[in-house]
Structure 1
Amino acid sequence: MPLDRLLSTLRPRLERIYSGRADEAAAAIGAALAPYASGPVVGDPATTGPVATDPVAAGGAAAPGSRWTERDVVLITYADQLRSAGRSPLRTLGDWLRRERLAEQINTVHLLPFFPSSSDDGFSVVDYLRVDPESGDWGDVEALGDDFGLMFDLVLNHASQHSAWFQSYLRGEAGYERFFFEGDPAADLSQVVRPRSLPLLTPFDTAAGTKHVWTTFSADQVDLNYAEPAVLARMLAALLEYARRGARIIRLDAVAFLWKTPGTNCLHLPQTHEVVKLMRDVLDRLAPGALVLTETNVPHAENVSYFGGVGAEGVGDEAHMVYQFSLPPLLLEAFSAGDASAIRGWLANLAPPPPGCTFFNFTASHDGVGVRPLEGLVSDARLASLVDAMRARGGLVNTRRRPDGSDAPYELNISYVDALAPDDADRAHHLRRFLAAQAVMLALPGMPAVYFHNLVGTQNDYAGARATGQNRRINRRKFGWEELDGALAEGSLQRAIYDGMRDLLSRRVECPALHPDAAIELLETGSDAVLAFRRTAAGGETLLCAVNFSAEAVEINFGKKHTLLPGEHLWQSGPEARAKQSSR
């Protein structure tokens, strides 16, 4: 797309973001986009590899019709998740996925940040355009992309204090004086929504004296200043470079905190939404096969605001996908309470996303299980009970600082396997509960994502958490090749989980009723302990999903009686899946 046409398209957004500096912003962004404006960066979203298409011939933006199917399943993993002698971790990961023939059930791999980083397991980025040599190189990433679609993170709220950008800021170099967001320690910043119980401002010695820099997540992660157009220009260049390198999905990390205005809560500000929409505009025109996924671990109503509105082309105009952040804690709460009422109520009120958009469903990731998304969905008493139940299963709790200065639970750090351990310690019951939770996630509308440790059934890594002092390390264990083979030995719980997950995934990708856009209907079950819903594809294919969250057997009847054991799930297709609940 000609650069002048693209900048003309972006101009209204730049004026809303930068007002009187819109001309300056257009010039900076034009220079950043110029290397990518001569042709499409990445193409056909229906393939796992980048196939070039002409975005101008396609009307200037990607059509929504072929963006996803029931075969779309994402694996979330670290680039250095597996190690073996003589191979880089990225090569090792690719070789293991091929040996296990996982491309038959998973078509996309989310590589968590694989760039040089100084902390937070990759999320304190030193260089946005290089692969950490400890993990491999761009050739290794490309080789993985030969067999799988790829998903990358754009860590756009903050950079490492050890990055060249921040070091240039400290030295007062031209062009970097306003690159990072400064705050006044005497100002009242109590309204700012915090994801951590840490100081918001961190002092740094600069060429111009001591400056207090905004550090939303940690003192090592210094917040970028998007009020400076050069910052947005750099991030747009990184966005397009990731698409050029094969990223089918680009995750906008911690995007809710992007724009800061002291005196506000600095969360979901209008400029933040405009930046996301601008990134979507750029990708739709220069990388029409790429999808924008926003990561906003907040209450549900705030989370879905990142779908935006329906634009002139009849599709959502902001993120293509948003995380279903309420799902992981709701599943844990249902099993903990033995009661499906909260998750059923949430589903009953879940509005469909705009056309051309979908949810990104998951149960676990590299982060803990966030509990802010439970706000308004469960009572304080039930939330407290859930937190206690997770602590009883070895979980650790990270907190956030409230405006009044008190701390509140922010996330539960625990392996999802251990989080679903039953009180009776029965292994068969444990396995049923874990697979039932995954079955619900895989059966809901949207694109599913499976964390590596859920795929292979990893339990709490206490040693990792203790050694680093980081609670999140409890669910971030790294394996050697032979070590993982041993963990997946026949007869182990991990093997049973792995086999069960492979079976669920095989069924998922062959079921048209589980297309991300297929309709969903909640079903009456006659039991507070059971959640049941039906998915129906455009072609009429159906699938019934039912789960017993209680510790007692429950009978259900949808044309045929079934006794669901404690923690058991049912996936049923065919005529029975179309039946209504019958009286017993």
Structure 2
Amino acid sequence: MTELECLKHKLTQQLDSIYKDVELALESDEIADALIDAMRIEQGGFTPKPFSNHWSEQDVVMITYGDSIMCPNQNPLATLSEFMDTHLECINSVHILPFFPFSSDDGFAVIDYSSVNDGLGDWSDIETIAAKRRLMSDLVINHCSSRSAWFQNFIKGEGVGHDYFFTANVEDDLAEVVRPRTSDLLRPTQTSKGLQHVWCTFSHDQVDFDFRNPQVLLEFVRIIRQYLDAGVNIFRLDAVAFLWKIVGTKSINLPQTHEVIRLLRTLIEHAQHDAVVITETNIPNTQNLTYFGNANEAHCIYNFSLPPLLINTLITGSCLYLKRWQMSMPPAQDGTTYFNFIASHDGVGLRPVEGILEDEEIKVLVDTMTLFGGKISSRTSEDGQKKPYEMNIALIDALQGTTKGKDPFGLARFTCAHAIMLGLEGIPGIYIHSLLGTGNDYEKLANTSHNRSINRHRWDCQALNGLLADENNVHSKVLASLTKLISIRTSQKAFNPNATQFTLHLGLQLFGFWRQSRDRRQSVFCISNITDQPMDLPLAELNLIGTETWFDLIDGEVINDITATQLLEPYQTVWISNVA
């Protein structure tokens, strides 16, 4: 068979698996042809090489809204581009959160997937950014805005979108459905066909698609093709775990959802060999890991357990739970890696530590974040109880103290958190408000009454540049310390996302791990004092090879005696390497 025939055969098999319980008007091979045409894949195009890593130690992603920084008389996307060029040369990738017209949820209720929000700029601004850095874009695939033309056609009962949305009956058994919200699942909607109840996983302005209709799948493949043409080469599949619904089930992580992701990866990597699929699945850790598939599903998965575990570690002064979790995590095989982050536009999810942190630990964590000015969002559990779902707080405020209260070590603790994250196996993603040391935005929270707004500040560019020009300002100090760490990381082969990693056993007050480059020439011992007291690091326990010269990459000092004991100040990190 030709390469194109092999692709069609594979797609047909995937479609048969997805739609095995759905009666279709078209045959699977006809749908496969339509998908190939929509993606404009031709004979002699890209043939993906299995288990290929499309990343290196040089990849660091900044996460930002398109309008996180605003300048008078300039498109926010142009402002963002200039800011990155001026201050963030060490960062080669950017995730611009939904930059499309929207009606709510700060972009995640998309009205039109094919347009750039004119309040941000236009496609030329997106293409300018993509020409300089790897660009990551959201594919908001589970739902769209109730104000979209598609949903308005659903209400009218005609036109594109009239059959794109999932409905259920109020009499259906929906007791097991897993959701991250407490609002009613079904939205009563008067349509030309009478009253219908539309499935809404998140809010009644975010109406869920019905992927049992292959036209919905085809629509999203056209969208992907447009984004590829604009320079996007990292696709973040937002809330994808909820994509396929079956009444009477939990309607999360269903086999059809996994197969849709595999099919999209098949198409994307045949269209552009180095494009990457990342799944955003804010769910318990063991479920999250399944989205790797057999290196044939997501290239990367969000490491959702890391933020709450790392915050827990730094406020308690014990790495017990973080260490246990890290030792249980499987090394990512080639063709996959973790996407590590410790802060984002959303809050710190608690579902990913279910079964990892004990209930009492979660309570202490929630109480401490509340003490530091954070807000707690809840969800309705399977038994109908409200449970903490997400902690909404700026990371710099989350780390301003310990369970004992606020202390003078906030900046050191905050830097330590990033040093740990930057050293770990995987690709690091850093939220713009972490890079800038932005604190809780209570004014925005009051204006929107949405807890997540507390960590979605919008900077005035002139005010921000003034702060960054002052070396004694906390924002300037944060940016300098983090960009220094990033610059060191991106020049060390031992920090390749798929380089070897082993957890070190140095007690519960020192958290450490060892990284080795894939060519085995470089070793880096990453060790952090995660307490508010000075701690001794017995270098002899690291078994450093005596014939090598060892350096601390962070302070640049040579380690003259590898049998000595080194004093680590509160929240100090060392990266001990045999290559300077």
Q: TM-score, normalization: structure 1?
A: 0.91
* Change over 3 Å in CA distance of 1:190–1:137 after alignment to 2: same
CA distance in 2, matches of 1:222, 1:435: 40
Residue of structure 1 aligned with 2:318, choices 339, 347, 350: 339
- Between stretches 328-337 and 30-39, larger displacement belongs to 30-39
Is 1:509 matched up with 2:484?
no
Give the partner amino acid of 1:93.
L
> Which residue is equivalent to 2:518?
538
> Which residue is equivalent to 2:445?
465
> Which residue is equivalent to 1:123?
108
8 Å Cα contact 1:29/1:232 also seen in 2: no
Give the partner amino acid of 1:486.
G
> Which residue is equivalent to 1:30?
33
8 Å Cα contact 1:2/1:38 also seen in 2: no
The residue correspondences of 1:386-465 to structure 2 (distance < 5 A) are 386-423=365-402, 425-427=406-408, 429-465=409-445
Deviation string 1:186-230 (CA, Å, 9 cap, x unpaired) is 222110001111111111111111111011000100000001111
Residue of structure 2 aligned with 1:208, choices 160, 176, 193: 193
Deviation at 1:538, TM superposition (A): 2.0
> Which residue is equivalent to 1:486?
466
8 Å Cα contact 2:333/2:498 also seen in 1: no
Deviation at 1:37, TM superposition (A): 2.3
Give the partner amino acid of 1:533.
F
> Which residue is equivalent to 2:350?
371
CA distance in 2, matches of 1:176, 1:89: 31
Q: Identity across aligned pairs (percent)?
A: 39
Is 1:554 matched up with 2:535?
yes
SS of the counterpart of 1:31? helix
* Change over 3 Å in CA distance of 1:195–1:66 after alignment to 2: closer
> Which residue is equivalent to 1:8?
9
Deviation at 1:178, TM superposition (A): 2.9
Is 1:568 matched up with 2:569?
no
Is 1:134 matched up with 2:119?
yes
Deviation at 1:30, TM superposition (A): 3.3
Deviation string 1:280-301 (CA, Å, 9 cap, x unpaired) is 1111212222100000001111
CA distance in 2, matches of 1:126, 1:30: 28
The residue correspondences of 1:212-227 to structure 2 (distance < 5 A) are 212-227=197-212
CA distance in 2, matches of 1:74, 1:426: 30
Deviation string 1:47-68 (CA, Å, 9 cap, x unpaired) is xxxxxxx645xxx224544511
Deviation at 1:125, TM superposition (A): 0.4
8 Å Cα contact 1:420/1:434 also seen in 2: yes
* Change over 3 Å in CA distance of 1:335–1:127 after alignment to 2: same
Is 1:152 matched up with 2:137?
yes
CA distance in 2, matches of 1:132, 1:61: 33
Is 1:74 matched up with 2:73?
no
Structure 1 segments unaligned to the other structure (5+ residues): 41-53, 310-315, 578-584
8 Å Cα contact 1:16/1:271 also seen in 2: yes
Deviation at 1:354, TM superposition (A): 2.9
* Change over 3 Å in CA distance of 1:26–1:240 after alignment to 2: farther
CA distance in 2, matches of 1:487, 1:154: 35
SS of the counterpart of 2:222? helix
SS of the counterpart of 2:297? coil
Q: Which runs of 4+ in 1 moved over 6 A?
A: none
8 Å Cα contact 2:332/2:498 also seen in 1: no
Give the partner amino acid of 2:142.
N
SS of the counterpart of 1:293? strand
SS of the counterpart of 1:502? helix
Give the partner amino acid of 1:153.
D
Deviation at 1:161, TM superposition (A): 0.3
CA distance in 1, matches of 2:191, 2:287: 37
- Between stretches 135-144 and 78-87, larger displacement belongs to 78-87
Give the partner amino acid of 1:143.
T
* Change over 3 Å in CA distance of 1:15–1:39 after alignment to 2: closer
Deviation at 1:553, TM superposition (A): 1.6
8 Å Cα contact 1:240/1:287 also seen in 2: no
SS of the counterpart of 1:21? coil
Deviation at 1:432, TM superposition (A): 1.0
Give the partner amino acid of 2:345.
H
Deviation string 1:239-280 (CA, Å, 9 cap, x unpaired) is 222122111210000000000001110010000000000001
For the aligned residue pairs, the C-alpha RMSD in angstroms reads 1.8
Residue of structure 2 aligned with 1:95, choices 77, 82, 99: 82
Deviation at 1:398, TM superposition (A): 0.8
Give the partner amino acid of 1:252.
L
Q: TM-score, normalization: structure 2?
A: 0.92
8 Å Cα contact 1:400/1:408 also seen in 2: yes
CA distance in 2, matches of 1:3, 1:65: 20
The residue correspondences of 1:233-272 to structure 2 (distance < 5 A) are 233-272=218-257
Structure 2 segments unaligned to the other structure (5+ residues): 540-561
Deviation string 1:124-151 (CA, Å, 9 cap, x unpaired) is 0001111000000000011111211100
8 Å Cα contact 1:255/1:294 also seen in 2: yes
Deviation at 1:22, TM superposition (A): 8.1
Give the partner amino acid of 1:87.
Q
Give the partner amino acid of 1:422.
G
8 Å Cα contact 2:181/2:379 also seen in 1: yes
SS of the counterpart of 1:243? helix
CA distance in 2, matches of 1:380, 1:22: 50
- Between stretches 109-118 and 239-248, larger displacement belongs to 239-248
- Between stretches 238-247 and 467-476, larger displacement belongs to 238-247
Is 1:84 matched up with 2:71?
yes
CA distance in 2, matches of 1:123, 1:62: 33
* Change over 3 Å in CA distance of 1:459–1:503 after alignment to 2: same
> Which residue is equivalent to 1:580?
none
Deviation at 1:9, TM superposition (A): 2.1
Is 1:229 matched up with 2:214?
yes
Is 1:196 matched up with 2:181?
yes
8 Å Cα contact 2:59/2:92 also seen in 1: yes
Residue of structure 2 aligned with 1:327, choices 274, 299, 306: 306
CA distance in 2, matches of 1:150, 1:358: 18
